[in-house]
Amino acid sequence: MSITIENILLIGSLLLFISILVGKTSYRFGVPTLVLFLSVGMLAGSEGFGKIEFENSQVAQFVGIIALNFILFSGGLDTRWSTIKPILGQGIMLSTFGVLITCVTTGVIVYIFTDFGLYEGLLLGAIVSSTDAAAVFSILRSKNLALKSNLRPTLELESGSNDPMAYFLTVAMLGMVQEPSGSLWNIVPMFFQQIALGVLLGFVFGYISRITINKIRLDFEGLYPVLVIALVFITFSATDFLGGNGFLAVYLCGLYLGNRNLIHKKTIVSMFDGLAWLMQIAMFLTLGLLVTPSKMIPVMGIGILVSLFLIFIARPVGVFISLAFFKMKLRRRLYISWVGLRGAVPIVFATYPLLAGIEKADLIFNIVFFVSLISVLMQGTTLSIVAHWLGVSRQQNETERLSVQELMDEHMKSIMKEIEIKSGNPFAEHAIVDIGFPKGTIIAMIMRKDKFFTPDGSTILKVGDILVVLAENKTSLNTVSDLFQDKH
């Protein structure tokens, strides 16, 4: 079947519907959802029941890049700074040196045991060197796996921030394959430029985005997520145009915004959570359609070799060396080594050699797909088992107690006070979002001219308003009182 303008919506919506239904039941059988999404794409492809002919690597790459922007931004948006601050150093080391070590060790083994050239081996190593954000976020959150000692934020921070390093290495090694006479050292300045500009512009665009979201005053709440989508792609494309790493900038922009006061923040976060899932499904379906299953058979040998080496040697070596200077128990290091999930991101990166037209591009793509599939099937289905075996998972009753406590902390406010906005108050004629309310306090209602209403972040405070403030404790309430004191 050929994809035409007339049937693309029908085919796409049916595949999306089937993927959601399949994903709903997948964890009953311990199978990660992304494997099911890929399988639906493959079954709908040229060698499956759907007979859809799809061989456009450029479209697949475009879909993958769009999807990665949503997934990385959503991951950053959901990440609390207070959670990752204690493990920031570990996450950075894993997402940089860990990726580099994995790339080099895998590349050298491929070079030694196959007919790949050194740069071709390093290119394959670079493509599979990072853990996949979509896979890690999807599996950890779907399984609701409770882990000890900040393991979960460490894994999510690493997976959300190491794609930029893998992307840089992929592009750099692809350049070396195309121009073998070039010096490997020439990529070092490019690396520092990409990372430095990615970090700088990520926070700059995050700051600009916050100001834009809070000041633009749109008439419809539903337009705010649309505005954020535009800002996400401006961040990515502008950073890439200026020579920085766009993926890193998007993740950091999301991280910045997720830890700041925003108008309609709940709507934005919920919308992007749904969009991230939609993008995961779209990306996996597209890549599944692109794959030809019969081409997997000739690469099974080298695929198994690379997969096992990556899982049992390259990933652990990268983790242990990266975390050598941190105090950490052996079982924790072992579990981080095991959660080296490869998913759709390496497959997206594998489309770069295809579009560049290098000699072994098809072979690399098929090997990478095989490696990703084995990684998710072997590691993704055993995360809970290995966590229990290594003693890094929390007991179920402990998790339940924690959930109840979190619920109480979120909803049970113990202190209430009315605060009047008098003439001369510094926050009169200011939006609530600009005030910088202390954590753990909210304005539940405002009485204006004898009428109560529920405010949001864009509400402008007026002289004569009476604020009904709820706080978790007396200290927070005193902070609010001091904040609203008249300053004549």
Architecture of domain 413-483: 2-Layer Sandwich (3.30)
Architecture of domain 8-401: Up-down Bundle (1.20)
Unique residue bearing structure tokens 């601050």: 85
Q: What is the pLDDT of residue 397?
A: 47
Q: What is the pLDDT of residue 95?
A: 93
Q: 243, 249, 155: which is closest to 198 by C-alpha?
A: 249
- CATH 1.20.1530.20 range(s) for the chain read 8-401
Q: What is the pLDDT of residue 187?
A: 81
Question: 131 with 159: CB under 8 angstroms?
Answer: yes
Question: 467 with 483: CB under 8 angstroms?
Answer: no
Euclidean distance between CA atoms 340 and 334, whole angstroms: 11
Unique residue bearing structure tokens 């095991």: 338
Euclidean distance between CA atoms 218 and 268, whole angstroms: 14
Euclidean distance between CA atoms 117 and 276, whole angstroms: 37
Euclidean distance between CA atoms 296 and 457, whole angstroms: 53
Euclidean distance between CA atoms 150 and 143, whole angstroms: 17
Residue 309 burial (C-beta neighbours within 10 Å; 0-12, 13-18, 19+) = middle
Q: What is the pLDDT of residue 473?
A: 73
Which two structure tokens, joined as six digits, stand for 255? 């991280």
Q: What is the pLDDT of residue 90?
A: 94
27-31 LR contacts (CB < 8 Å, sep 24+):
27/142, 27/143, 30/381, 31/377, 31/381
- Which mean pLDDT values do the consecutive 10-residue runs of the chain (488 residues) have? 61 74 56 71 80 83 91 88 89 94 96 94 95 71 68 85 90 91 79 92 96 88 93 97 94 93 88 86 83 84 92 96 92 92 86 92 91 86 86 60 41 65 84 78 84 84 87 76 64
Which two structure tokens, joined as six digits, stand for 74? 């959503």
Q: What is the pLDDT of residue 426?
A: 83
404-411 LR contacts (CB < 8 Å, sep 24+):
409/472
Q: What is the pLDDT of residue 80?
A: 85
- pTM greater than 0.85: no
Q: What is the pLDDT of residue 486?
A: 52
- CATH 3.30.70.1450 range(s) for the chain read 413-483
Q: What is the pLDDT of residue 112?
A: 94
Q: What is the pLDDT of residue 400?
A: 42
Euclidean distance between CA atoms 161 and 165, whole angstroms: 8
Q: What is the pLDDT of residue 309?
A: 95
Sequence-ordered list of residues with C-beta below 8 angstroms from that of 87, at least 6 positions apart, any chain? 150, 153, 154, 157
Question: 247 with 3: CB under 8 angstroms?
Answer: no
Q: What is the pLDDT of residue 455?
A: 86
